[in-house]
Chains A and B, each alone.
Chain A
Amino acid sequence: AQSVTQPDIHITVSEGASLELRCNYSYGATPYLFWYVQSPGQGLQLLLKYFSGDTLVQGIKGFEAEFKRSQSSFNLRKPSVHWSDAAEYFCAVGARYSGAGSYQLTFGKGTKLSVIP
């Protein structure tokens, strides 16, 4: 079965500093990978996704992520963090539920980002 690990529960960075949120996945086939952001009391907003092709994907709000098959990773990066980026970030892998079944998303436990002014 597929799984997603986000090793960092909580990260604090200063505004203007660079950011990298880690995500490792376990899945036997080519994964479909997603990063979502959730503000308190809100639903999930898609930041970016990787299906195939260029392993460096660009998303909204200046975020990017790099798929590294050899490391089973899909880390999220931003060169300069803004105070409004403070939120919970979830990595997810889309995989077939079983055999030829339909796709489901499996989420990591999330990383809470705090930004110091």
Chain B
Amino acid sequence: GAVVSQHPSRVICKSGTSVKIECRSLDFQATTMFWYRQFPKKSLMLMATSNEGSKATYEQGVEKDKFLINHASLTLSTLTVTSAHPEDSSFYICSARIDSSSVEQYFGPGTRLTVT
């Protein structure tokens, strides 16, 4: 149980275009989903927390207009990287939490974004 999927697993896009990454909880409803970014040989950096039906909470230094997060249902959150630049190339990982009182998160397999 508690499986989280991400789509696509890899994506290559041209500079200036937008790309959408989906995060789905497959066998549970997730009131909260998290988006992380992982730079090469680095740890996971929390970008934002999204709660179903409300606006995402972004961490300091993360551009909310560039990284659009939508959590329209209890099983789906999307991250859209707008006007992508090569420096946005990274590994993006989402996670989901079952309820607000829970500390445990279930992680997706990640999405490798390459901007050319």
Interface residues of A (CB under 8 A from B): 32, 34, 36, 41-46, 49, 51, 90, 94, 102-105, 107-110, 112
Contact = CB atoms under 8 A, between A and B. Distances in A.
19 contacts: A34-B104, A36-B107, A41-B91, A41-B112, A42-B109, A43-B6, A43-B108, A43-B109, A44-B107, A90-B43, A94-B104, A102-B49, A103-B102, A104-B34, A105-B95, A107-B43, A109-B43, A110-B42, A110-B43
B75 to A, nearest CB: 18
A90 B36 CA distance: 14
Secondary structure of the A contact surface, majority rule: strand
> Size band of the B side of the interface?
20 to 34
B93 interface: yes
Interface of B: 6, 32, 34, 41-44, 46, 49, 91, 93, 95, 97, 100-105, 107-110, 112
Contacts of A105: 34, 46, 95, 103, 105
